[in-house]
Amino acid sequence: MRDDDRPHVLILGGFLTEPFMYRALRGRLLVRDAASVTIGPIHIADWLAAGMAGLGPLLVRSGLAVRRTHRLTGRRPLLVVGHSGGGLLARLALSPVPYDGRVAAVADAVGCLVTLGTPHGMAAAPVTFHHPGVTAAAFLDRVAATTPPDPGTAIVTVGSVGVHAPAWDRASWRDRLRNAPYRLVVGAVGERGGDGIVGVDQAHLPGAHQVTLPDATHGTFGARWYGDEANIDDWWPVAVDHWRQARAVRAARATAMLDGAASARRDASAVPAGRSDLEISPK
């Protein structure tokens, strides 16, 4: 595979995660011909601070990570992988509309965004706690309603139906205790099932290419999460294909702009010296 046909990847981690949790995913993507894989510098402390200050500072940090990775990898459009809340951060960074007085507007640097178990539909979910993530999701819903999708930046959403709502009724008290906070924050999984934390309906965006896995789980630890060997080949080739399609759209746009500029120069050179399109009649 040609080097320019291999995407450089940036991973943006999810709520209360650390970068080291994505090292195994990084290795799996490199084996699958990613040109390079960078893990964004988002830490548990940043998420805890966001709980009080909102997601604005993390929007800025995510945007800077995109710009830096884009610059260091030759300014080719990136393939960004956002896990869980990291997918919301990526969408906030892509948005041209300021959020909480901050804007990164890095869509020009991203060829494809793939989200893994991101609660995109959280604003409409019956959450008990109206936290900053709900506010951000509602903002993104409003932006999406007024901003047409750009084929130059593809979006692939990945969800799961591996865990169904009745499982909660049969769960042990330990599982209930462990998962109760997530039900407060993102809502119940729903009738169609989910990944144990985010329901499949929340994980998908209208207009995006949607990949639904049969039994992926949400977290980075344990078997069969989105980035596990058992699941990665169900979404990674799709993401790469959409990244390539987006690059083709950008290349066509660039060619059209160059052709337009060349045509304008030819038209300008065809005007005889001393003449212009504006003629003034003598009095």
Residue labelled with tokens 């060619």? 255
Closest by Cα among 195, 206, 185 to 140: 206
Segments forming the whole domain that contains residue 208: 3-269
pLDDT at 229: 93
Do the domain assignments include residue 275?
A: no
Do the domain assignments include residue 65?
A: yes
Q: Is 91 helix (H, G, I), strand (E, B) or coil?
A: helix
DSSP 109: G
**What is the per-residue pLDDT across 120-168, written as a single tens digit (0 to 9) for each?**
998 887 766 678 999 999 999 999 999 988 999 999 999 999 876 555 5
Q: What's this model's pTM, rounded to 2 decimal places?
A: 0.87
Do the domain assignments include residue 274?
A: no
**What is the per-residue pLDDT across 245-274, written as a single tens digit (0 to 9) for each?**
999 999 999 888 886 777 777 777 776 655
**What is the per-residue pLDDT across 4-53, written as a single tens digit (0 to 9) for each?**
789 999 999 999 999 999 999 999 999 999 999 999 999 999 999 998 89
Q: Is the pLDDT of residue 110 over 70?
A: yes
Contact of 12 with 83, CB cutoff 8 Å: yes
Do the domain assignments include residue 229?
A: yes
pLDDT at 182: 56
CATH of the domain at 47: 3.40.50.1820
- What's the number of domains the chain is made of? 1
Name the pLDDT band for 56 (thresholds 50, 70, 90): very high
pLDDT at 124: 83
Do the domain assignments include residue 121?
A: yes
Contact of 86 with 40, CB cutoff 8 Å: yes
Do the domain assignments include residue 277?
A: no
pLDDT at 223: 66
**What is the per-residue pLDDT across 190-245, written as a single tens digit (0 to 9) for each?**
677 888 889 899 999 999 999 999 999 888 876 689 999 999 999 999 999 999 99
Q: Is the pLDDT of residue 90 over 60?
A: yes
pLDDT at 183: 61
Do the domain assignments include residue 96?
A: yes
Whole-number Å distance between alpha carbons of 242 and 151:
9
Whole-number Å distance between alpha carbons of 76 and 111:
8
pLDDT at 26: 98
Contact of 161 with 212, CB cutoff 8 Å: yes
Contact of 188 with 199, CB cutoff 8 Å: yes
Contact of 243 with 7, CB cutoff 8 Å: yes
Do the domain assignments include residue 276?
A: no
Please state, as a whole number, how many other Cβ atoms lie within 10 Å of the Cβ of residue 179. 17
